[in-house]
Structures are given as structure tokens and as C-alpha cells.
Amino acid sequence: MVPTLMGRIQTRLFLLATVGSVVTVLIAPFLPGSAGALRDRYATGFLVLASVAVLGVAWEFLYHFLMQFRWEKDWPTLFGLLTCIPEGLLLYFLLQSQVLGIFDPVPSAAAFWTHFLVVWICVWLAANGPMRVPFIRWRFRGGRVL
């Protein structure tokens, strides 16, 4: 299966909304360097998750363009995991430079990276494993969820 651009975007948003939300609920109270009320920790966690989703849609267009130069028109699975490096670095830079302007207290580096990497790994594992069980036709429809 070669995912289409819309299929990749739908899968990314679906997995971030489901798996990413569950992981955020579970780990937000335990993030390192997070000070403040529990409500603030959850708010920061879900803002980071939303930022990853919005920025991720833009990344999908770039990935789609780059994949056109590959024979298979798709990334190897390991590349899908390693794309967390440029995405995470760009998002961390945008948060630290206050470009987004949505974070009143900017999350600490330890809290951001712990949250980002745990969510990324869980979403990647779900996309490459359990996602194929309840959505049997998912891979035949170019990765589209709807």
C-alpha cells in the first residue's frame, strides 16, 4: 500500500486524536520539570499535541513532495519513526521562540521532549501494528480512515 496524501493526513490526525490523547492523559501528571496545577499540565500537554497535529499537516505536504523522487513513492518504515527528529526540533524551536504565542509558560525542555517522544513512539507503533486490525480496509484505501 502506498498512502495517498489525504490518507497520510487523515491517519496522522486520527492517531493523534485517539492514541495521542490517551497517552497525554496518562503521562501529563508525571512529566518532568512541569510545575503548577494539574490543569495547567494537561492544558500544556494538549496544546503541544494540537501543535504537533497542525504542524504535522504541513509536514505531510513536504514529505509527499520528497516521496515523489523515490521509486516506491513511500518511506521505509524506519523513516516514519525518524521523522520525529526534524518535526520535534522545529516545534521545540517555535515554542521556545514564542512564534506560536499560544503558550503562556513555555514547557520545559524535559517536559516537551518526554511528552513529544512518548506520544510519537506510541502513535508510530499504533500505525504500524494495531491500526491494521480494526481498520482492515485502511491499507487498501491509501491510508484513508474515512
Confidence of residue 146 (pLDDT cuts 50, 70, 90): low
Closest CA to 57 of 101, 16, 98: 16
Confidence of residue 144 (pLDDT cuts 50, 70, 90): low
pLDDT in tens, 46-77: 988 999 999 999 998 988 888 888 777 777 78
pLDDT in tens, 122-135: 999 998 888 777 77
Residue with cell 501528571: 29
Domain boundaries, the chain: 5-135
pTM of the model: 0.84
91 exposed, middle or buried (CB, 10 Å; 0-12, 13-18, 19+)? buried
Task: Report DSSP letters for 26-81, one per residue.
Answer: HHGGG-TT--S-HHHHHHHHHHHHHHHHHHHHHHHHHHHHHHTTSSSSS--HHHHH
The pLDDT value given to residue 106? 76
User: Which residue type is seen at 34?
Assistant: S
